[in-house]
Amino acid sequence: MRLRTGLFSGKNILVGALLSAATASALATPPGRMTGGGSIYCQDPYYRVTFGYQLHCQPGGPGSIPEPNNLEINFSRGDNFHLTQLNEAYCIGDGTTRPSAPFRTITGTGTGTFNGEPATVEYRLEDNAEPGGGQDLATFIITTSQGKALACTQFLEGGNNQAHRATGRIAR
């Protein structure tokens, strides 16, 4: 298992943390979505984190995120996060070929609940290879009124992040 040292390893990973709002709004975000799930290993107090999601890109500025958008993150010690509102979602990077998609990374922010209490999430999910285990990357920062509940960047131990081109009414 390859572990990434440090939270961000010098990359512009998250909209709220390292990618300024001006830079994010200037991105030419293609329409599309990312789906997937898997598991990553993080430092204590949550050793194993599993997640599943479907998140759409934000192609036309604020308020233009197609639905549905879902993100669930479960912790090995029983804690959980559920997304209730996707606030930002930018699809960036070189495209993928299997399947064809005009991006390989989705990064954004949202609000939801952590163990039933209000919380925010910042995320970055990368589709780097097929299959995704050991190749795809996941970053999650979950913040509650008590502080950070999770701050972790790791390669997927198992699972897959899958970028998709827009289809149906979203592609028009």
The domain segmentation of the chain, as residue ranges, is 1-38+78-111
* Mean pLDDT score, 80-93: 94
> Which residues sit opposite 126 in a β-bridge?
105, 137
What is the band of 20 on the pLDDT scale with cuts at 50, 70, 90?
very low
* Mean pLDDT score, 4-21: 38
In total, the chain counts a number of residues equal to: 172
* Mean pLDDT score, 117-135: 91
* Mean pLDDT score, 121-131: 92
Q: Is the pLDDT of residue 95 over 80?
A: no
**Do residues 160 and 36 touch, judged by C-beta distance below 8 A?**
yes
Query: Taking the C-alpha atoms of 76, 80, 86 and 89 in order, what is their torsion angle to the nearest 10 degrees?
Result: -10
Q: Is the pLDDT of residue 2 over 70?
A: no
